[in-house]
Amino acid sequence: MIIEYIPIFVVLIVAIGFAVATVLSSGIFGPQRPNSEKLSTYESGMTPVGSTNERVSVKYYLVAMLFIIFDIEVIFVYPWAVQFQNLFGEIGISAFISMFIFLVVLELGYLYVYKKGGFKWD
């Protein structure tokens, strides 16, 4: 049972291994001629001023909220896509219509946000 998930674990191990190997190998094989100017933060930029803990605008919150909503929409589509052929064989065209209604209801929300300028950065 757990054996079925071995490919996923292999992918995870390869992904983590690749990330670690690239970072480590560039440290090992790359040339290192450090000086104090090079090691300073923002070597060729402005010196940071003040705290990083500034409050950000509520506009970002709208983006995050819309991202969650359409993420959940996609989550509902996965089981439907996997089972679509079986469902179509059993209950016919209504398997298609049920998902169509769901998507239309959500796209109404998308159109509303678009028309009200929710994607504009004012």
Partner 1 sequence: MSLEILLFIVFSLISVISAILMITRSNAVISALYLILNFAGLAGLYLLLNAQFIAVTQVIVYAGAIMVLFLFVIMLLKPEHEKKFLEAKPKLKIFAVAIAAIIFLQLIYLLFFSKPSESLSPEMTKSIDSGTIEAIGKQLYTNYLLPFEAAGFLLLAATVGALILAKKKIE
Q: Which residues bind partner 1 (CB under 8 A)?
A: 1-2, 5, 53-56, 58-62, 64-69, 71-76, 78-80, 82-83, 86-87, 90-91, 95, 98-99, 101-102, 105-106, 108-110, 112-113, 115-118, 122
Is there a contact between 84 and 95 (Cβ–Cβ < 8 Å)? yes
Name which of 105, 100, 106 is nearest 84 in CA terms: 100
For residue 44, how many other CB atoms are within 10 A of its CB? 7
Q: How far is the CB of 46 from partner 1 (least distance, A)?
A: 21
Q: Which is nearer to partner 1, 12 or 21 (CB)?
A: 12
Say how far apart CA 15 and CA 11 lie, in whole Å: 6
Q: Which is nearer to partner 1, 25 or 98 (CB)?
A: 98
